[in-house]
Structure 1
Amino acid sequence: MVGFPLLLIPLAIYFILAFLMPGVEWTAVLADVPMMSGATWRVTFSDALICGALFLLFLEILKATRTAARSIVDHLLSTLIFVGAMAAFITLPQAATSTFAILVVISFVDVIGGWSVSVRTASRDFSVQRLSD
């Protein structure tokens, strides 16, 4: 069974809203959170989407620590998602926003982090024993 690339979720949410609701305001306030300092933290839709993507990035890095054969397929799928997101960022006017650029960067960190963790974990699996004299 192939794992599902979790970072596809925030990218799909972005594209659904960008294409089906062309006038979507990424800076629309979702909530005003009063702080102890007396200030008010305004959480926007863009902030929530990026925070969700960062949480999913954490889960993807945890998935990368598995030493199963399917982890290579997971990394390939993550790489394809990054390439597709980068292509969309460069070519589609709906994707030319800071929110989408940050999602592309998160996807890039997933690719680099996943491959790095897998290589590091695999190198520990191969141990060489010295023969005693």
Structure 2
Amino acid sequence: MMRLLPFIPLFGIILLVYWTLVQFGIFPRGLNVIVLNITLPSGHLWRPTWGDIMVLTGIVALYVELFKSTRTSETTIADHLLSTIVLIFYLVYWLTNPSGGNSVFLILTCMSFLDVIAGFTITISSARRDLSIGGK
């Protein structure tokens, strides 16, 4: 399982979770349901919703995906290819399904787009640096 981890696009997992929750009738109507109440040190009550949790999960996934794109190995190309396919699924779902037509899903789609663009950019920059160091 650990050998497959570099190949798995995390945004694909988030898309699968979102789609599954749509199939059970929880999303998109449940995106505004408050998950829990947290009292901050200021005394203010923070009440995150499921939509907030999905966006925060997307931010964490984006960080991990960007970190994965800094390595230059044979798995990088497969990872970028799968991330691009996941982005296409996000775009098609957002454009064709009413359950994807909300701000939370659009933000996740934009994060997936950033993952693909930044992943290619970072990988190319890293590979160029590796070539220049090796060629001296």
Q: Tell me if both proteins adopt one fold, taking TM over 0.5 as the criterion.
A: yes
**Residue in 2 aligned with 1:119?**
124
Query: How many positions carry a matched residue from both structures?
Result: 129
Tell me how large the CA RMSD over aligned residues is: 1.5
Query: Aligned ranges for residues 42-53 of structure 1 at < 5 Å?
Result: 42-53=47-58
User: How far apart, in 1, do the equivalents of 2:115 and 2:99 lie?
Assistant: 23
Output the CA distance in 1 between the equivalents of 2:18 and 2:70: 28
Is residue 79 of structure 1 aligned with residue 84 of structure 2?
A: yes
Q: Which residue of 1 aligns with 2:23?
A: 19
Query: Could you say which residue in structure 2 is the equivalent of 1:6?
Result: 10
Which amino acid in structure 1 is aligned with residue 71 of structure 2?
A: R
1:37 equivalenced with 2:20 (yes/no)? no
TM-score normalised according to structure 1 size = 0.90
Secondary structure (helix, strand or coil) at the match of 1:124 reads helix
**Is 1:63 the counterpart of 2:31 in the alignment?**
no
Pair member with larger Rg: 1
Higher share of residues assigned strand? 1
What is the deviation of 1:69? Answer: 1.1
Equivalent residues of 1:19, 1:94 under 8 A apart: no
- Give the aligned residue type for 1:30: V
What is the percent sequence identity of the aligned residues? 32
Helix, strand or coil: the match of 2:30? coil
Quote the offset at 1:19 in angstroms.
2.2
Q: Which runs of 5+ in 1 are unaligned?
A: none
CA contact (8 A) 1:75 1:111 kept: yes
In 1, the alpha carbon distance for the partners of 2:24 and 2:131 equals: 50
How far off is 1:57 after superposition?
1.1
Comparing both structures, which one devotes a greater share of its residues to helix?
2
Q: Shift of the alpha carbon at 1:22?
A: 5.4
Deviations 1:36-65 (A, max 9, x none): 222111111111111111111111111111
